[in-house]
Amino acid sequence: MTIQHPTPTTPLRGRMIADMSARNLGPASQTSHLRACKRFASWLGRSPETASPDDVKHFQLHLIESGTSICTRNQTMTGLKFLFRVTLRRHDLAAEVFHLKKPVKVPLVLSRNEVKRVLAMAPGLKARVMLSLAYGCGLRASEVVRLKVGDIDGEQNIIRIVQSKGRKDRNVMLPVDILSLLRVWWTERPTVNDRGVSGPDRALFPGYCGRHLSARQISRLFKQAVLAAGITKPVTLHTLRHSFATHLLERGVDIRIIQALLGHAKLTTTAHYASVATGMISAVESPLDGLTAAKRRKGAS
């Protein structure tokens, strides 16, 4: 994959791009690392090659004091650590980089009825198909918009997710309802940019100039559906993926199967959904119930 970097390339930037490409870093990681180095250079006022360990310490303090979120701050320092350790080979600078522990938050999920309302209020067939894929198959926004015709296997009832997060492939189920929606969508799908593109390689949800839609576009469609459904929770499109995992867990699906469907590398990541499986939590008998039941039995005797 050719990764374009519109910013004029300095010798240091060129070396870093070459180092990242040699290590097969994805486009998103490369962009993030370069943005981090640009931010550090802007704060420093000179080339990062001239930085001292104290500069790295003070920059991290600057990020904290300026109100930068922990996630963005850690992401920035990850990019700088790559620059220091790999490109500059300045291990004295890399040693000064530290990461802050992010607070553990319970992911927000929608109830089954809320999901049903969102899908019903989707603004058009295309939006309904994409949102159904996000919830019904547990897909990320980027995975939905990047789907190609050849990724849909109606014979085996699976969808192939090719080179997603972490450069990993996986298979997910293809529900009957979604397959029916896809067949209807196929009759309405724009074909103006299909010329010269083989059938399996055609974007399932084409955008401009033969490219697929962007993740931002599907997020906007989701927000429209949420608003129309009268849901006031601060949800995002990723909430559908959280809801997919939680609802499967509540139905008794093995957590390792859910891990495979989500493409999680670690089981501990998937296990977080146990904390929001309200059906499972509400079904647990409190020890207080046991005490009151014992009192009733004692009183009856």
Give the active site residue among 35, 170, 238, 272.
238
Question: Whole-number mean pLDDT of the chain?
Answer: 89
* Catalytic residue list contains 238: yes
Asked whether residue 285 carries a pLDDT value surpassing 50, the answer given is yes
For residues 144-153, average pLDDT? 94
Contact 25, 33 (CB under 8 A): yes
* Rounded-to-integer distance, Cα 267 and Cα 257, Å: 10
* Catalytic residue list contains 15: no
pLDDT tens digits along 206-250: 887 767 888 999 999 999 999 999 999 999 999 999 999 999 998
C-alpha closest to that of 130 among 10, 20, 237: 237
pLDDT at 273: 81
Q: Indicate the burial class of 174 (C-beta count within 10 angstroms; 0-12, 13-18, 19 or more).
A: buried
Alpha helices in the chain (DSSP H): 11-22, 27-44, 53-65, 70-82, 91-94, 112-120, 125-136, 141-145, 176-188, 215-228, 238-250, 255-262, 267-271, 278-283, 287-300
* Catalytic residue list contains 58: no
Q: Look-up: residue for tokens 């014992």?
A: 294
Cα distances from 60 to residues 84, 86, 97, 198, in angstroms, run 14, 20, 8, 50
Tally of residues, the chain: 301
pTM confidence score: 0.76
* Catalytic residue list contains 208: no
Give the active site residue among 140, 146, 189, 212.
140
* Catalytic residue list contains 35: no
For residues 10-28, average pLDDT? 93
pLDDT at 210: 65
